[in-house]
Amino acid sequence: MERKKVISNVQQVTMNNKEFQHLKNIPEFSSFEHQKENILPVKQGRSAAALSQIFSSEPSALYTELQAGHDKFNAELENLDELDDPFDVYDRYIKWTMENYPQASGPHSKVCQLLERASNSFINDARYKNDPRYLRCWLQYSKHVRRLKEHFAFLKSNGIGLDLATYYEEYAELMEEMKCFKEANEIFETGISRRAQPLGRLNKRYKQFLTRMESNGVNFNTTVTQLNLNPRRTILGSKSSASSTQSQPMNVFHQRNPISHVVSDVGSTNVISNNNNNNGKLDIFYDPYGEVGNAAITSTDSGTSTWNNYGTYLTRKKEDIREAEQWRGVTLPQNKKVYTPMVAKLEVYRDKSVEHDSTNIRQCNEQINKKETTFQEKRPKQVKRYELGQKERWSIKINDFYDENDDEISFEEKRAKALELLEVKLSEIVEDKFEPQEKNTNDKKKITLQSCNIENTPEAKHYVLETKSPVLEQIPIIQPSKTECNDIEEYNIPVHKINRLCKFKFLLISIYASDNTLTFVQKLASDMNTIVKKPSPTICTKAALSDIIGMFTFTQPSKDIRNHNIDDENVAPNTNVVHQQSANSNHSQKPSKISQIDGRETDDQKNNENSRGNKSKNFDTVTPIKETRREYMLITTPSRELEQHAITEVRPSTNESGFGDTRADSVSPIECIEEDSLESPTFTQLSNPCNPLDRKVIEQILVAIRPPVNRYKGFYDAQLQTFNHGSKIEEIARSWNVQSRRGTSILINGDKPVIFFNDSFLINQKIDEGGYGKIYRVLDTNDFADDQDEKKSSRALKIETPSSAWEFYIIRQLQERIISPTIDSIISVYSLYCYKDESYMVMEFCHQGTILDAINKAKKDNSQLDELLVFFFTIELLKTMESIHQAGIIHGDIKADNCILRLEPTVEWGSRYDPSGANGWSKKGIKLIDFGRSIDVTLFPNDMKFIAEWVTDDQDCVEMREGRPWKWQADYYGLAGVVHCMLHNQYMQITPILAESNNLMSGPATMALKRYKPILSFKRYWQGELWQKLFDLLLNPLLAKKDGQMPITQELKNIREEFEQYLIQNCEKNGKSLKGLLKKLEVS
Amino acid sequence: MQQQQQQFELVDPPSDAISSVVFCPTTSNHLLVSSWDKTVKLYDVDDNSLRASFQHKASVLDCCFSDGAHVFSGGLDHCIKSFDINTTNESVVGLHDKAVKCVEYSLEKHMIVSGSWDCTIRLWDVRKKDALFGQYEIGDGAKVFALSLVYYKLVVATAGRQFFIYDIRNMSETIQKRESSLKFMTRCVKCMPNRQGYASSSIEGRVAVEFFDPSPEIQARKYAFKCHRKVIDGVDTVYPVNALAFNPTHGTFASGGADGVVNIWDGFNKKRLKQYPQYPTSIASLDFSREGQYLAIASSYTFEEGEKDHPPDSVFIRHIGENECKPRIVTSSA
């Protein structure tokens, strides 16, 4: 055949009359190949000629041609009524359209509309009920829109094509596509039973279907009932049978159109109509007018074709079209703003006179200060803004009360300015201010002070040094007097006054510091020196120098110099206190070097020292002369030492030996106080909160401390010297370990002691090592040589690299500040050898191990510390912490391994616990060690808070962990941690509980503070109430007081007393005794 | 005669302008008067006699009692002084960097609160030798013009028409910062005895009554009114309102202006209760005695018009009748 197959379709092209005529000129495929993607495949194929013509002709020509065709058919359709076979017109029209619009569904084709029109026109026409052309029209239409079961249901309800095999074939094909094999099967059966024509073809198709089904494993005999359920499973995917594991994927069509599915079921079989009711839940499709649903239902119910309108494609898409609704009350969105024409605004009222005034002022100011450009804009604004009412008048000249910066000036300021009182020199005021005090001070002291000042100034140093000896010659050495009290009385008051004056002088200096300070000071120095009639025991100290230097280098405005320590507590010591303290310190000191040295000293010096020592608290324990003398022995020859008299002052300044001139030998009362008073300026520049362990901060503090650390007893200063013995000591300790294990004597390395100055130590084993340094057990050779008692001469040597005097300072301060016997609970330190690279601190050695050791031991035995012991240690800890807090020091690192057991042997030891320490109980307790992280709060402003800049863990308090500022909390938390550890053998972990917000704190200042408690609960047989109270207090110190103030020492004391009462009553109960428990601990 | 009983003038007044008059919180007869003549004087109003006095090195701008026996004062010499009435001991509590404008004593905190032109508020714990408890910068360097304390609330009025409200237990944070409701420089601020709010006055003849509670319904109650104005030649002349004082029992308050007039106001009903006849010159300071039976009125030129001749400075003590300062109950149709 010459006919050409077009497109992909394999079907034979049916012959057309028209085509036949054009047979001769069969077009080339190439003529429309370029458009082949746009050609909709048709079952029957397409005429190549027509396609060629369509795609080869000009668009406009084609358009007119097509239009002509349309017109022709439309004209025919007009007269449809007159025709015998009206559908024939449609049929031809459709065919023509199909041919000429190969894109078919394109926007121009209107095929869909045409099919719609054709099919809908003859729904009720009996002639076409079983006309194959009409049915084909329907099926074509349904293909165009979307092949739905509904179509077939509609056709069925209207009896269209029910006798035609095509209907059943198509319907079954659809069902088969939808995997509704049962329905497909039924459809075929219905068709065959109705003997639809051509029956042969239908049978043939049915057989083909059945073979397909068989190959797919579908057996209609068994699946009939199960398949009924299929529609219900559409959402989850259809399962072909309950027993089979085969689950078919969900049909997209089903998912999208569950209702349509149901409707078609209704139309086709009664069985499925049940599903409609069962699927009531899936109420997605809303059919308000019942066009689809109702029609379907009614059609089933009545069996007649009341569903006589299938609806057009557009109406079926009606969900996409917005329904018409009432406009009443609806705001219509406006795209553009409505601009109303501009109308002249009300003119701003301007008061001419004031305007004039202000401009005048402006001009004046411009002349004065041309920089003030901002002011020019500001000024008129403010004046204009705050205009008086129209009919009002100022009684005052308002402009007088604004300065050139437009800031307000109060009447008082104005008056002060007018009276030239505001510009009063600060110095005058200060001088004036202290006049009353000065009246009371005698001249002598005043001069003393001044001379002291001079000598302290850096520039004056040289000068003073030269004239030193004559001055010193006149120093009245305080005569040893037996009635010391008198001496003190006599001295106290002036000291107090001098302090005030002293500060005043420093103020003066600081005020003038900004300009030519040096000349001033020099001048002052020389001036003052001439005045000096009766010099006092003063000396030039580096401390004092650095103080002044510090002030000058900081060059802070006078503003920053705080005067709040005018009435320093240390200034006027109570005689009684001093006595008590000195007595106490003597008492509490263990047999140490002091006594030995004392023995060596002359009576004269001793008395001298004593009398000085009692002058004031400050120089009581701070720098006794004897100690410095001792230092001298190290660096000077014995012969020179012999030459030294009570006055050793000249030496330090002239001494050439490395550290000589930094040494302060004797501290005059004046110095002490005056230096004290100037601490705070040094720290004012610290941020708040600050990291108290910052090396810089600590260095700064150590430099500023008055008296300086290197004047403390037992401080051996060699900061210019490197020592570098750390590794050597380490080696010795290791070899000692080896030797001791072999059982050889400790004395094996007795011949190579480590020597610091003139002290030498035998290194034993290493006790501990941490980030801060290493601790060794050493033997003091001096002691050891005396009595060979190993225990007695044992010391702990703490080596820190780089060197740090901080811990030494803290412990010395504590020893000075704590008067109560609690001082026993703080490790005592003998000496610090401070080198440039390393520092060696010699401390007392405690052999009984730490609380942590005790806990671990108990843990090993699968038990824990008895609650009585915990009570005892808790009380001891609380007591110790209270006293160090009272002394103004935060330990900062309280933990179980920093608490050493202190269970010293006693002759008498009552079995009943005594909190006062009587009956030998004072010998039992703990010792706090490791003050390396301590903070001396007194050095900081009252409101100073601290911040942790180190990596924190569960053992650090909440504030630290959350990066919030803290202060006393560190110790409270630490203590709680120790107690928890003792109780539970576990490190403490805490959890917040909801706290009622503090009612007394009202307003936005109220902060709902979290309340914390330990996670672990107390054992039932413990004194849960007491423990809970303690933990609550320690973990929530801010909630302890109504105003959230800290420290909560008093509150802790109260609870400690409760603990003590409990312990007194229960120390010997239930066969346990505290004494016994402690003894056991002591032995082990 | 009647006039004499109602009011009398203190003998031996300060020789220069009066900065402040303060009644003793424990007795009704002690009146403290600070003055530009560098003195602080203590009068007994019952005897109309001078009981004690002490001196500063410069003009004194404010003074206060702590208890019946101790007084504190501050002034242009930058320092705060304490004075013991019984022992006549005086001492310096501490220094500001500039003149001290106002001092107040907190009964609850046992502290002196001082405000200065150095733009700081400082708290002093006078029980300690090292008295400075804390120092707090106000705003961005605004000079303190006035402050008032009630319970733990501290209201500070500064230059630039700013108000800062603190809780003196936690001075590190400002509870509220407000702009004055008045358009001109603040002259005086006083807290209500009922702790609800405060009244402030400005140089432009106006008084504002404000409340602490920041909730909108309470804030809606705040108001301001004109006062201390006089019509001269048909023009309303505006005078500064220099002084305010709350009646401790009734909660009504007195205002004193540069026009020399003292008014008693009922802040609850927004009514003027009383206007006293004009005093010789500006009212510099006002204070009610402890139970409100006296009103001390310092009539002293406040330098609002610069250097000029003015009537002598004097302190008047006015007896306040029992109902004189009582708010009138508005009898709505009950």
Q: Which of A412, A435, A1044 sits opposite B61 (nearest CB)?
A: A412
CB within 8 Å: B130 and A389: no
Is the CB of residue B61 less than 8 Å away from at least one CB of chain A?
yes
In whole angstroms, give the CA distance from residue A469 to residue A456. 16
C-alpha distance from B161 to closest chain A C-alpha (Å): 8
Distance between CA atoms of residues A729 and A769, nearest Å: 13
Domain boundaries, chain B: 2-301
B269-281 mean pLDDT? 90
Is there a contact between B235 and A943 if contact means CB atoms under 8 Å apart? no
What pLDDT score does A608 carry?
44
Chain A touched by B232 (CB under 8 Å): yes
**Nearest alpha-carbon partner for B247 in B205, B181, B189, B191:** B191
- Taking only the tens place, the pLDDT of each residue in B226-273 is 999 988 888 888 999 999 999 998 889 999 999 999 999 998 888 899
CATH code of domain A54-70+86-145: 1.25.40.430
Q: Which residues pair with B295 in a beta bridge?
A: B288, B318
Q: A699-717: per-residue pLDDT in tens?
A: 878 887 777 777 787 888 8
- Please give the angle made by the CA atoms of A1049, A1055 and A1061, to the nearest 5 degrees: 135
User: CATH second-level architecture of A851-1083?
Assistant: Orthogonal Bundle (1.10)
Closest chain B residue by Cα to residue A1007: B170
Secondary structure element (H or E) that encloses residue A702, with its range: helix A695-704
pLDDT at A503 over 70: no
Q: What percent of chain A has pLDDT over 70?
A: 53
Binary contact (A566, B92; C-beta < 8 A) = yes
In the predicted model, is pLDDT for residue B140 greater than 60? yes
Q: What is the pLDDT of residues A881-920, one digit of tens each?
A: 888 888 888 888 888 888 888 888 887 888 888 888 888 8
- In the structure, what pLDDT confidence band is assigned to residue B163 with cuts at 50, 70 and 90? very high
> Over the range A694-732, which residues count as b (16 or more CB within 10 Å of their CB) and which as e?
eeebbebbbebbbbbbbbbbbbbbbbeeebebbeebbeb
Q: In this complex, do B101 and A410 lie within 8 Å of one another by their Cβ atoms? A: yes
Residues of chain A with CATH 1.25.40.430: 54-70+86-145
User: What backbone phi and psi angles, to 5 degrees, belong to A754?
Assistant: -85, 130
Check pLDDT > 60 for residue B274.
yes
Residue count (chain B): 334
Indicate yes or no: pTM above 0.90.
Answer: no
- Count of C-beta atoms within a 10 Å radius of residue A551: 19
C-alpha distance from A982 to closest chain B C-alpha (Å): 37
> Six-digit token pair at A831?
């000496």
How do residues A822-879 score in pLDDT, each as one tens digit? 888 888 888 888 888 888 888 888 888 888 888 888 888 888 888 888 888 999 899 8
| Cα–Cα distance measured from residue A414 to residue A420, given in angstroms and rounded to the nearest whole number | 10
Which residues have CB under 8 Å from A730's CB, separation 6+?
A766, A774
CB within 8 Å of B244: residues ≥ 6 apart? B188, B189, B190, B199, B200, B201, B207, B253, B254, B255, B256, B286
Q: Residue B238: which of A392, A397, A410 has the nearest Cβ?
A: A392
- Start-end ranges of CATH 1.10.510.10 in chain A? 732-845, 851-1083
pLDDT of residue B137: 87
Helix A575-588 vs helix A806-817: angle between axes, to the nearest 10 degrees? 120
DSSP characters over B277-327: PPPSS-EEEEEE-TTSSEEEEEE---STT-S---PPPEEEEEE--TTTTPP
- What is the nearest CA distance from A391 to chain B, expressed in angstroms? 6
Average pLDDT of chain A to the nearest whole number: 65
Tokens of B156: 């500070």
- A227, A322, A338, A946, B8 from A335: Cα distances, Å: 56, 20, 9, 60, 78
Looking at the partner chain, which of A393, A411, A562 has a beta carbon nearest the beta carbon of B302? Answer: A411
Tokens of B48: 């109309």
The correct answer on CATH 3.40.50.970 for the domain covering A732-845 is no
Confidence of residue B315 (pLDDT cuts 50, 70, 90): very high
Least confident of A65-79, A289-303, A580-594, A742-756: A580-594
As a whole number of angstroms, the distance between CA A552 and CA A555 comes to 5
Q: Between residues 74 and 113 of chain B, which touch chain A (CB distance below 8 Å)?
A: 76-79, 90, 92, 94-95, 97, 99, 101
Residue B76's Cβ-side half-sphere holds a number of Cα atoms within 13 Å equal to 26
Report the 10 Å Cβ neighbour count for A667: 27
Provide the token pair at A916.
Answer: 């006062």
Q: A388–B159: do the CB atoms touch at under 8 Å? A: no
- Which one of A412, A428, A558 has the shortest CB-CB distance to B101? A412
Say whether B251 sits in a helix, a strand or coil: coil
Residues in chain A closer than 8 A to B178 (CB atoms): none
- Cα–Cα dist A245/A257, whole Å: 26
CATH of domain A147-286: 1.25.40.930
Architecture of the CATH domain B2-301: 7 Propeller (2.130)
Between CA A1009 and CA A997 the distance in angstroms is: 7
For A126-161, write each residue's pLDDT tens digit.
778 788 888 888 887 777 776 667 778 888 888 888
Considering only CB atoms, which chain A residues are within 8 Å of B229? Answer: 392
Of A388, A436, A1003, the CB nearest to B238: A388
Could you give the ipTM of this predicted complex?
0.88
**Inter-residue contact A1081 to A901 (CB < 8 Å):** yes
Is residue A733 predicted with pLDDT exceeding 80? no
Residue B209 has pLDDT above 90, yes or no: yes
Minimal CA separation from B317 to chain A, in Å: 24
Question: How far, in Å, CA of A178 to CA of A175, rounded?
Answer: 5
AA letter at A1040: A
CA angle A13, A14, A16 (to 5 degrees): 120
Give the closest residue to A423 by CA, choosing from B120, B284, B156, B117: B117
Give the pLDDT band (50/70/90) at residue A104.
low
Q: How many CB atoms lie within 10 A of CB B278?
A: 14
- Nearest-by-CA chain A residue for B101: A412
Q: pLDDT by residue (tens digit) across B119-139?
A: 999 999 888 878 888 888 887
Tell which wins on pLDDT, A48 or B212: B212
A98-107, A279-288, B311-320: range with lowest mean pLDDT = A279-288
